[in-house]
Amino acid sequence: DGGITQSPKYLFRKEGQNVTLSCEQNLNHDAMYWYRQDPGQGLRLIYYSQIVNDFQKGDIAEGYSVSREKKESFPLTVTSAQKNPTAFYLCASSIWARELNGYTFGSGTRLTVV
Amino acid sequence: AQSVTQLGSHVSVSEGALVLLRCNYSSSVPPYLFWYVQYPNQGLQLLLKYTTGATLVKGINGFEAEFKKSETSFHLTKPSAHMSDAAEYFCAAGSGGSNYKLTFGKGTLLTVNP
């Protein structure tokens, strides 16, 4: 079955360390997204990519970096510059068509920085 | 730019009662509208979507939503709540075309009381 795989589900890191969250999709979707979710704040867009080797900053890109070397993969690095990295991170993908079809989401990675 | 407002961050109903979750959007162009559901520590799952055509949209698990252009609303309803409906619900809007991005509301947590 096609879908989006995020790994790991839970991640613990020490303050000051960079950490990379994995996101892989086998849906042949063109676009991929990273969101951060905090209680009461909904989903906030970090980065998105509409095509391989291209990506754009979202609303809260500071302290994060991404790459899109393959259509299937869109890893997110949380750097030490991110002031408050503890959160639930969601990856999503969508297909481009004449109509906007909505997103397919992964099951998320909960990052805790201690 | 799109904005999505969900009225009520927390809604509580009794089992068997009507569920009504409110969503208003702002858009200068006809929108694409979506409702997603999220269970604890999971990703978001698409409940239903409005793109074009019929303004009453039926989704999974007995939910439906009505697009009212004059009121810029897309409220989610279910005639009879089940315990299994307890979750967080997100409304989202997009404008399609070359813009792949959805704008999400802050979410409404639905509690179902026995």
- At B26 the pLDDT is 87
Q: Find residue A33's DSSP bridge partners.
A: A48, A92
Q: Which range (A90-94, B25-29, B33-37, B82-86) has the least confidence?
A: B25-29
Q: Is A39 on the interface with B (CB under 8 A)?
A: no
Query: Looking at residue B103, what is its pLDDT?
Result: 87
pLDDT band of residue B51 (cuts 50, 70, 90) is confident
Q: Are B99 and B6 in contact (CB under 8 A)?
A: no
Token pair 């905090």: residue: A38
**Contact check, Cβ <8 Å, A100/B94:** yes
Q: To the nearest whole angstrom, how far is the Cα of B33 from the nearest Cα of chain A?
A: 9
User: Average pLDDT, whole number, for chain B?
Assistant: 91
Instruction: Give the CA angle between residues B25, B31, B37 to the nearest 5°.
Output: 65
> What is the DSSP code (8-state) at residue B79?
S
- As averages over each run of 10 residues, the pLDDT of chain A (114 residues) reads 90 92 95 92 92 93 97 96 93 79 91 92
Residue pairs spanning A and B at CB distance below 8 A = 63
User: To the nearest whole percent, how much of chain B has pLDDT over 70?
Assistant: 92
The shortest C-alpha distance from B80 to chain A (Å) reads: 26
Which chain B residue is nearest to residue A91, measuring alpha carbons? B43
> What distance in Å separates residue B18's CA from the closest CA in chain A?
24
Interchain CB contact of B7 with A (< 8 Å): no
What confidence category does residue B98 fall into, taking pLDDT thresholds of 50, 70 and 90? low
Higher pLDDT among residues B2 and A59, named by residue: A59
Per-residue confidence band for B101, with pLDDT thresholds at 50, 70 and 90: confident
Of B35, B90, B100, which to mutate for an interface test with A (greatest number of A Cβ within 10 Å)?
B100
Q: In chain A, whose CA is at the least distance from the CA of B40?
A: A107
So what's the pLDDT on residue B67?
93
B27 CB neighbour count, 10 Å cutoff? 18
Distance CA A68, CA A48 (A): 10
Could you tell me which chain A residue has the CA closest to the CA of B104?
Answer: A43
- pLDDT value for A98: 59
Check pLDDT > 80 for residue B49: yes
pLDDT category of residue B102 using cuts at 50, 70 and 90: confident
* Model pLDDT, residue B96: 63
Residues 6+ apart with CB under 8 A from A97: none
Cross-strand bridge partners of residue B45 = B37
Do residues A34 and A22 lie in contact, with contact meaning Cβ atoms separated by under 8 Å? no
Statement: residue B79 has pLDDT above 90: yes
d(CA B55, CA B31): 12
Q: For position B28, what pLDDT does the model report? A: 63
Q: Tens digit of pLDDT for each residue in B86-96?
A: 999 999 988 76
